């Protein structure tokens, strides 16, 4: 089953996005912990799109498609923000003292930790992120 949603790039729409992801993850048969992991990954991705891709709220839309199959969820996120190259993102400072860590820099790391597959591409003038979670 596929669920789709298109929202403006606004932080107040992330709850709606999270609800869509939760419904899709539950339909795939995931437990509460895995539902939360999927929501975390999508929340991080959408936050990064708004903050870094669009440079603020109301500067573009975010499209989410969730395909649920027994034991597997595929989430595709598309935006028209500036091109994102995950290889150009600095590695997280995991050994840094928490007081010196600062805000940000861990979103991509979290996505890769909680999902089974994280693929970025740039197609037709937009970014495409595919997140896959398996039981």
Which SS3 state, helix, strand or coil, does residue 123 take? strand
Angle formed at CA 79 by CA 47 and CA 86, multiple of 5 degrees: 65
Q: Which domain holds residue 126?
A: 2-134
Q: What is the pLDDT of residues 59-117, one digit of tens each?
A: 999 999 999 999 999 999 999 999 998 888 767 666 655 555 445 567 888 899 999 99
Instruction: Give percent of the chain above pLDDT 70.
Output: 88
Q: What is the mean pLDDT of residues 5-19?
A: 98
Q: Does the structure show a pLDDT above 60 at 45?
A: yes
**What separation in angstroms does the CA of 65 have from each of 90, 96, 104, 106, 133?**
28, 36, 26, 24, 14
Query: Can you give the CATH number for the domain in which 68 is found?
Result: 3.30.565.10
Q: What is the mean pLDDT of residues 22-33?
A: 97
Q: Per-residue confidence at 119, pLDDT binned at 50, 70, 90?
A: very high
Domain count, the chain: 1
């Amino acid at each position: 089953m596929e669920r789709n949603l298109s929202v403006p790039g606004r932080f107040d729409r992330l709850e709606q996005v999270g609800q869509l992801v939760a419904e899709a993850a539950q339909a795939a048969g995931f437990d509460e912990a895995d539902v939360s992991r999927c929501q975390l990954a999508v929340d991080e991705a959408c936050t990064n799109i708004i903050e870094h891709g669009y440079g603020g709220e109301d500067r573009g839309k975010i499209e989410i498609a969730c395909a649920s199959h027994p034991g597997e969820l595929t989430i595709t996120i598309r935006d028209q923000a500036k091109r994102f190259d995950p290889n150009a993102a600095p590695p997280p400072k995991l050994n840094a003292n928490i007081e010196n860590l600062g805000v940000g820099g861990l979103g991509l790391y979290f996505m890769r930790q909680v999902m089974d597959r994280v693929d970025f591409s740039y197609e037709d003038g937009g970014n495409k992120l595919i997140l896959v979670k398996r039981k």
